Structure 1
């Protein structure tokens, strides 16, 4: 396994105090500045007093509100986080921002699209199989006007949101951990545990307090592994964007952390089926990208 991607943090100024300052900066942008629109939305609903609208402050689940507004509010926190990471990398660590993504001078959009296309195709297939076994779990939610308004916004915002998470967890944090060890498994596991921890407040955790965190841990491990294996973050960005776009546009579920007017809606998320499906999709992704496409024709 080539670990030169993990060594890129060495290009900048990387004293541990700079990482403390960098994380403070990121958290300020992510949780404080980025949370202002959500806070304003919550305060507006409280002051409005409309009995048909409500917000669960523990899970940030909105009811009686157009999905577009909580979608934008929640995603704004992550876009603000991305700005915080950019400022930390450029001005605290004195590195180029592309060094968080690739060992090369230029980002490969082709590689990002490859990760997106393969992962989107696989989760679409897995969802069709699951729907065939449990047809009663899914409802058609298509509202042409609402969907057409939402579509261009989702195509712009969701890939940026997915990239923001990748750049923080598999980029900034995983590379930072790589400074202190020569074993790639440590930053891979460490960044994946942090990724899982960041999602523990998601509403789907209520479905199963053991299997849902495990699902996020496995997702983090998969994305970290393909990042180190490919020596860049591009495949992971593409795969993560495909996963999230499929959810908000095609198949979402009730009480999702990413509220959206998707084409179909599942009544609930099945933790066991989701785990099995993800493991199979991840294995198929690895085989297609790293084995089948590299085999002699």
Structure 2
């Protein structure tokens, strides 16, 4: 069992606090300072693009996550003295087929949704392919987006969920805590400024679906695949002036952002995705895996 692999005595639990407080505190401080100084995320991103260009701005956004991931792995190996495999899954080996299945399914669903959106409002999409800018973007995204998404999954659905479960002695409490904090970490995203706080339903909903995948599947492989596919397509396939990834993607969306599309994803498409995974991997004992005390 994924959460049962690790010691739950007080000295073991205390080892989690420095990294969790350090990272969440750092992110919270950024959000608070930005709010107090009335800094607009879209304006800041555009200023950076004007100075550095889109690709280098994109790179500077992603590179800190490489540092965070190395730091988390180092802390896990040296302080906790467990393997990366144990942080990833309860299986005997990391199941890469699960990663690629999740990546493919969620990538396919996203492409289908984009195709439907294009057919319904083709005037809102503009092809902006430029090989000179797209090829460097593709290389940066292919290398660094999986690093960015892997850090978020290893931290939120792995490290932070373990800590939350051990402290609360409750799986569903750990799921709620990690999902809400994951959503709140996106408060400074440009989408929040353009669409309002209701967009947090989408971010927190993403946290819940990723957490449910992890608890039901006893590992991070499906969550890692989902998150990598989601962010790669957001960077390479279609972007908008309201997106946190303002890149030289294949298409730019010039229409109005619609919160209802995100709500459809959270309350209709996400449950369908979980149903696909549950059938594929024969998930059972939902009540036990989601609600059983630790």
The TM-score, its normalising length taken from structure 2, stands at: 0.83
Give the one of 153, 164, 170 matched to 1:166: 153
The residue aligned with 1:252 is 239
C-alpha distance in structure 2 between counterparts of 1:99 and 1:292, whole Å: 23
169-178 or 123-132: bigger deviation: 123-132
The residue aligned with 2:230 is 243
Where structure 2 has 5 or more consecutive residues not aligned to the other structure, the ranges are: 31-37, 284-294
Instruction: Give the SS at the match of 1:139.
Output: strand
Q: Say if 1:57 and 1:81 are closer, same or farther in 2 by CA, change over 3 A.
A: farther
What do the CA deviations read for 1:233-291 (whole angstroms, capped 9, x no partner)?
A: 00000000000011111112213212321101112532221221343331222222212
CA RMSD, Structure 1 to Structure 2 (Å): 2.5
Matched, 1:289 2:286: no
C-alpha distance in structure 1 between counterparts of 2:9 and 2:53, whole Å: 44
Question: Which runs of structure 2 are paired with 1:18-57 in the superposition (5 Å)?
Answer: 18-24=15-21, 26=23
The list of structure 1 runs, each at least 4 consecutive aligned residues, that deviate by more than 6 angstroms after superposition, is none
Give the one of 101, 120, 131 matched to 2:118: 131
C-alpha distance in structure 2 between counterparts of 1:21 and 1:274, whole Å: 35
Deviation at 1:69, TM superposition (A): 0.8
C-alpha distance in structure 1 between counterparts of 2:221 and 2:253, whole Å: 30
Q: Do the aligned residues in 1 keep the contact of 2:8 with 2:166 (CA within 8 Å)?
A: no
Deviation at 1:111, TM superposition (A): 1.0
Q: Do the aligned residues in 2 keep the contact of 1:211 with 1:272 (CA within 8 Å)?
A: no
The residue aligned with 1:192 is 179
Instruction: Give the SS at the match of 1:179.
Output: helix
The residue aligned with 2:258 is 270
C-alpha distance in structure 2 between counterparts of 1:203 and 1:12, whole Å: 41
The residue aligned with 1:48 is none
Q: Do the aligned residues in 2 keep the contact of 1:8 with 1:100 (CA within 8 Å)?
A: no
179-188 or 285-294: bigger deviation: 285-294
C-alpha distance in structure 2 between counterparts of 1:241 and 1:140, whole Å: 23
Deviation at 1:292, TM superposition (A): 5.7
Matched, 1:205 2:202: no
Deviation at 1:184, TM superposition (A): 1.6
The residue aligned with 1:9 is 6
Give the one of 124, 132, 138 matched to 1:145: 132
Higher helix share: 2
